[in-house]
Amino acid sequence: MSTGTNMTTTTASADTGERTVRKNSPGAARGPRRTGRIRRIGLPYLLLLPALLLELLVHLVPMVIGIVMSFKELTQFYIRDWGTAPWSGFDNYKVSLDFNAPVGDALLHSFLVTVGFTLLSVGLCWLIGTAAAVFMQDTFRGRGLLRALFLVPYALPVYAAVITWVFMFQHDNGLVNHVLHDQLHLTDKPSFWLIGDNSFVALLVVSVWKGWPFAFLIVMAGLQNIPKELYEAAALDGAGMLQQIRRITLPSLRPVNQVLILVLFLWTFNDFNTPYVLFGKAAPEAADLISVHIYQASFVTWNFGTGSAMSVLLLLFLLVVTGVYLLLTSRGRKTADV
C-alpha cells in the first residue's frame, strides 16, 4: 500500500509546486533571473528524483523483468543463465489459457475458486467489520478494551496466527473438532478441515478472522466524521435505528467503503501467506487459490516462464477489475453529489 500513498502525495506535491512557481514568476524580472527560474522549476523534480529512482528500482524493473520472463521458455535448463533461454513468443500464454488442456484447466479452476473465495471473504469482512463499528459507536464501559481486543487478529504476525489455526483445525486433536464433534455432537464423525472439500470453509474462516478487523478499523474512523446532529435530527423525525443506519450511516460511509472494498479485494485475491501456511505447497483442490497455484507453477515445477505468464494474466485481470470498479463507483458518486 505504501506505494499508493507515496505516489499520490508525491505527484500532488509536484502539482502544487509547479503552481506556486507559476504564481511567483510574473513578478520576477527576466534575464539573469532565468537560471533562478529554471532552478526553481527544477527543484521539485530534483527532490522527486531519489524517490522516482527507487520506485523504478524496487517496483518497475522487477515488473518489467517479470513480463519479459513470461515470453521465455525459462525452465530448469536455463535458469542459471537465463539470457540464453529461448524466446517462446506467446507459448506460455497459450498453455495457460488453453482451458481444454490440464494446465489451463487447473488455472481456470483455481481462478474461479479464488473469485468465489474473494467475494465471500470481502463480503463477510465488510459486514462484520461495519456491524461491529456501528455497535461500538456509542460509549459504554469497556469499549476501549473491546476495540483493542477486536484488533488483535490484525496485529498478530500472519504466520503465528495461521499456524495456530492449523493446530485448531487438526483432525485428531484439533479444537474445532473437539467442540463441534465431541462437545456439541453436531457431526457424526470428526471432519477433516485441512484436506478435502472442507478446506474451503477453513480457508474462508481464517481469512475473514484475519481481515475483518481492518474493515472495522477503517469504518470506525469513517464513523467519527459523521456529524452527531444528523442522528439527532433523524431521531426527532422519528427514524429508528435501522433507518438511521440506512439513511445516514451508510451513505456517509460511501467514500470510505469505496476504498475499503477495493483494498480488501486486492489483498484477499493476492493473499499468499494464509493458504500457504494452512495447506503447504500443494493446496487441496477446493481451496487452490491462484497465488499458491502460480507459486507452484513456477517454483515447485521449476517453470518460471509459465509462472510469469500466469502472473501477467492475473495482473491484467486485476487492472481491469480495478479500472471498472473505479469508473463505476466514481460515476455513481458524481450523480449522488448532484
Partner 1 sequence: MRSIRAAAVGAVTMSLALAASACGGGSSTGGGSNDSPKTLTYWASNQGASIEVDKKVLQPELDKFEKQTGIKVKLEVVPWSDLLNRILTATTSGQGPDVLNIGNTWSASLQATGALLPWDAKNFEKIGGKDRFVDSALGSTGVEGKDPAAVPLYSMAYALYYNKQIFADAGIAKPPVTWDELIADGKKISAKGKSVLGAEGSNLSENIHHVFVFGKQHGADFFTPDGKADFTSDGVVAAVKQYVDLMAKDKVIPTGNAEYAQNQSVSDFAKGKQAMLLWQSAAANLKSQGMSEDKYGIAPVPVQSGTPGTGNQVNSMVAGINLAVFKNSHNLDGATKFVKFMTSDEEQKVLNTAYSSIPPVKAAQEDSAFTSPSNAVLKDTLAKSASALPQVADESQFETAVGTAVKELFADAAAGRPVTTESVKAKLQKAQQQMPTK
Chain residues in the site for partner 1 (CB under 8 A) = 1, 3-5, 7-8, 11-12, 59, 62-63, 65-66, 69, 73, 75-77, 79-83, 101-103, 106, 170-172, 192, 194-197, 262, 266-267, 270, 272, 280-282, 284-285, 290-291, 294-296, 298-304, 307-308, 310-312, 314-315, 318-319, 322-323, 326, 330
The Cα–Cα gap between 54 and 250 comes to: 40
Q: 135 or 302: whose CB is closer to partner 1?
A: 302
Alpha carbon separation from 237 to 89, 231, 232, 243 (Å, rounded): 67, 10, 9, 11
* Chain position carrying cell 513470461: 70
CB 326, min distance to partner 1, A: 6
The answer to whether 215 touches 260, Cβ cutoff 8 Å, is yes
The Cα–Cα gap between 252 and 261 comes to: 15
CB 15, min distance to partner 1, A: 8
Residues forming a β-bridge with 72: 87
Q: 73 or 222: whose CB is closer to partner 1?
A: 73
Q: 73 or 134: whose CB is closer to partner 1?
A: 73
The Cα–Cα gap between 250 and 223 comes to: 10
CB 202, min distance to partner 1, A: 11
Q: 246 or 333: whose CB is closer to partner 1?
A: 333
CB 327, min distance to partner 1, A: 9
The Cα–Cα gap between 121 and 209 comes to: 9
Q: 57 or 241: whose CB is closer to partner 1?
A: 57
Q: 17 or 66: whose CB is closer to partner 1?
A: 66
Q: 24 or 76: whose CB is closer to partner 1?
A: 76
CB 24, min distance to partner 1, A: 24
CB 318, min distance to partner 1, A: 5
CB 71, min distance to partner 1, A: 13
